[in-house]
A and B are shown apart, each in its own frame.
Chain A
Amino acid sequence: MLDRDEDILKAAEDWQKAGRGVALATVVETWGSAPRPAGSSLVINDEGTFLGSVSGGCVEGAVVTEAMDVIESGKPRMLEFGVADETAWNVGLSCGGTIRVFVEKVG
């Protein structure tokens, strides 16, 4: 299976050891019908390369952008995406669910 969590976490470690800035985004909470369960993760490096998913494609673009800031600042942050969000029409979840994603720097 592609993008199993072990590959994602392995990539996080490998990228960090290779000297890249790395962030890990993890789904920590879901409401309604969310595409990926809590615990699903996405790893992002400072070149914008990413592996894994937190939503099956709906909000990854926004998460990658936020992850760049987290790599820069080193401070973790919590993101929330859903239909109630103002940006829902731009980067919302088409399935109508809501998810919270924790983004942290690795290393």
Chain B
Amino acid sequence: MKLAILHELNAERAARRPVILVTDTESGEQRLVKAADFTKDPLRAELDKQLRMGKSGNVEAGGKKLFLNVYAPTAKLVIVGAVHISQALAPLARSLGYDVTVVDPRTAFASPERFPDIPLVAEWPDTALPPLNVDAYTAFVAVTHDPKIDDPALLHAFERNCFYIGALGSRKTHAKRGDRLRAQGARDTDIARIHAPIGLAIGAVSPSEIAVSIMAEITAVLRLPPKEKEEAA
């Protein structure tokens, strides 16, 4: 691998931007393709598919055997609300490979006793969220049920283009939330991005089951191609 390619690869990874390294395994020739350049690439279909699955693999193109090594940023999950559901959600998400952070200004909720080994930020969203570098590889859930906490958090998630945004609450609660967020400048397209009621409809009752339904929904949004995604939602 040329040092220039390695250097660029490390820079892209540090910036949490996905890239795929294409290696001709016979000649050793390599090129680095940034996700932003996929649409211009002759291998775009293959690149898209491998990146979506987060899996490296081999393809044949133009009589060449190519290895596509996918470097996708580690997915993050930001949970706003150190509630009972979050106690089940945080360890489940971590077992699925997410970097998890829990945010809740209420110190009685955000306590290490309730969340052993999970990074906790006991601050209001305005203070807590900017340093977390929420980005397009972040799933974001707001589950406090308290508009004072959930609303500013959701506005931040819109700005940062999170790949998944979910909020706890019934359809009725969600309709009111939409009105409040619009009053604070959110667009209809932002509101439409919120998965609410949160989670896949699997009849979940207990906090652990709700956690499963949330992670199932996040997984579907992360992995399914756009058309099937619509059908699952």
A residues apposed to B, CB below 8 Å:
5-6, 9-10, 12-13, 16-17, 24, 26, 28-29, 37-39, 75-76, 78, 102, 104-107
What is the interface of chain B mostly: helix, strand, loop, or mixed?
A: mixed
B25 touches A107 (CB 8 A): no
Which residue from chain A places its CB closest to the CB of B56 in the assembled complex? A39
Q: Which residues of B contact A16 (CB under 8 A)?
A: 3, 6
Cα A17 to Cα B7 in complex, Å, equals 10
A102 touches B71 (CB 8 A): no
B20 to chain A, nearest CB (A): 10
List 16 A–B pairs whose Cβ atoms lie within 8 Å, in order of A's numbering: A5-B71, A6-B10, A6-B13, A9-B13, A12-B1, A13-B3, A16-B3, A16-B6, A28-B56, A28-B58, A37-B55, A38-B57, A38-B58, A38-B67, A76-B28, A102-B25
**Known: A6-B10, A9-B13, A102-B23. Is A107-B69 also a contact (CB below 8 A)?**
no
B58 touches A13 (CB 8 A): no
B55 touches A9 (CB 8 A): no
Interface size on B, residues (CB 8 A): 20
B residues apposed to A, CB below 8 Å:
1-3, 6-7, 9-10, 13-14, 23, 25, 28, 55-58, 67, 69-71
Cα A106 to Cα B1 in complex, Å, equals 5
Q: Which residues of A contact B10 (CB under 8 A)?
A: 6, 9-10, 13
Which residue from chain A places its CB closest to the CB of B2 in the assembled complex? A107
A75 to chain B, nearest CB (A): 8
Cα A13 to Cα B25 in complex, Å, equals 21
Q: Which residues of A contact B2 (CB under 8 A)?
A: 107
B9 touches A9 (CB 8 A): yes
Which residue from chain A places its CB closest to the CB of B97 in the assembled complex? A1
